[in-house]
Amino acid sequence: MRIVLAGVGPVSKKDFLDQAAQDYAERLTHYARFELRTVEASARRGGGEPVERLEADKLRKVAPPGAHAVALQVTGRQYTTEQLAARLQAWLNAGRDVVLYQGGPTGLDGELLRACVEQWSLSTLTLPHRLARVVALEALYRAFTVLRGEPYHRA
**Per-residue pLDDT tens digits for 93-113:** 999 999 999 998 889 999 999
**Is the entire prediction scored with pTM above 0.85?**
yes
**Average pLDDT of 82-101?**
97
Helix (H, G, I), strand (E, B) or coil at 153: coil
Say if residue 155's pLDDT is above 80: no
Which amino acid makes up residue 71? A
**Torsion from C-alpha of 106, 8, 146, 3, nearest 10 degrees:** 130
DSSP code of residue 5:
E
**Is residue 95 a contact partner of residue 142, using CB atoms and an 8 Å limit?**
no
Strand runs labelled E in the chain = 2-8, 33-39, 68-77, 98-102, 118-120
2-148 adopts what CATH topology? Answer: Alpha/beta knot (3.40.1280)
Residues 6+ apart with CB under 8 A from 115: 69
Predicted local distance difference test score (pLDDT) of residue 45:
61
